[in-house]
Structure 1
Amino acid sequence: MTGSGTPLFFLDVDGPLIPFGAPPPGGYPTYPGPGPYENPLVARVDPALGRHLLALPCELVWATTWLEDANDCLSPRLGLPQLPVVDWPVTDDEDDGHGGPPHWKTRPLLAWAAGRPFAWVDDEIAPADRHWVEAHSPAPALLHRVDPRVGLTDTDFATLDSWLRAAS
């Protein structure tokens, strides 16, 4: 394996941490926590997710358009330290023969990983992303799509923990 060391864990916010879409009957649950925040959706972030994230054998990295706002708003709510943040370059993704262009995050995440194994958790992962990473990553990679209506679940954490331990 080209990449070595602790696997990276690229974490999106909208979908994995903040459920959205058609709300369940009775609406989305909200949780007390540090605040107030300008974004009312932050109340949907379950602070208990932080201990699950910290228990994973990986290096956590924000991979979200929230950028540093994820550290400012969400890290305290989740009990996380300040995490590295992927700074998104401006790109013009084109079809590379694998059924369409990958998501605009795919290439920058692979570059950020720099040969290390990584898991990417997002609600927008598609087959084109899996094909592109499979063809270009020198290290193992798990692209784990989360249902944006429910966010990260115990089942997701079990899958991620198992994969990350195997990739270490």
Structure 2
Amino acid sequence: MPDTGRPLLFLDVDGPLIPFGDPPPGGYPTHRSPYVPTGAVPGGNPLVTRVDPELGSRLLGLPAEPVWATTWLEDANECLAPWLGLPRLPVVDWPVDAEDGPGGVHWKTRTLVEWAGGRPFAWVDDEITGADRRWVAAHSPTRALLHRVDPRRGLGDADFTALDAWLRAL
């Protein structure tokens, strides 16, 4: 990916964008209905309807280049990007033999630092731990924010505030 000078924003899907908890009473505020029949969503994936479509414009409003960092791979572009109003995004291609590292380092961590290629990045995921933060602090040549999202509720206002503040401070 060409370096445009903007930090990268690595996005996981399950948990941060697709919350695991129940929708709020009355549904998501930006939806007419929190659930749409399967055939009515891009790609026909019923999980997409759990994603608040307003998240797309909020993600694009952050001063960063979004990148899919999910096991959805290209399915994120096929199913989620249209729902969110996002352009086709780059996708991190995970190694086939990816496994957790020593001390509980998440299997994504090393690949994301390599993929960033020395660019500052924020990583949004629901499985980030202190082990990942320590590993990135010791191995990333640049600044990085590892932002853990509560998977029961997904990305919310407080998450966007934290991401925006960190990205603008670079």
TM-score by length of 2: 0.86
Equivalences for residues 137-156 of structure 1 within 5 A: 137-156=140-159
Give the drift of 1:49: 0.4
1:66 corresponding residue in structure 2: 72
Equivalences for residues 18-167 of structure 1 within 5 A: 18-21=18-21, 23=22, 29=28, 30=34, 35=41, 37-89=43-95, 90-95=97-102, 100-167=103-170
Name the CA shift for 1:28/1:14 in 2 (closer, same or farther; >3 Å): farther
Unaligned runs of 5+ in 2: 29-33
Name the CA shift for 1:8/1:152 in 2 (closer, same or farther; >3 Å): same
Q: What percentage of residue pairs aligned between the two structures are identical? A: 69
Q: Is the 8 A contact 1:61 1:83 kept in 2?
A: yes
Q: Is the 8 A contact 2:42 2:78 kept in 1?
A: no
- 1:46-105 CA distances to partner (integer Å, 9 max, x unpaired)? 10001100000001000000000000000000000000000001234431xxxx131000
Q: Is the 8 A contact 1:4 1:116 kept in 2?
A: no
SS of aligned partner of 1:9: strand
**Distance of 1:24 and 1:6 partners within structure 2:** 33
Q: Is the 8 A contact 1:62 1:85 kept in 2?
A: yes
Amino acid aligned to 1:11: L
SS of aligned partner of 1:46: coil
Name the CA shift for 1:82/1:140 in 2 (closer, same or farther; >3 Å): same
Q: Which has the higher contact order (CA 8 A, sep 6+)?
A: 1
Aligned length: 160
Runs of 4+ with deviation above 6 angstroms = none
Unaligned runs of 5+ in 1: none
SS of aligned partner of 2:104: coil
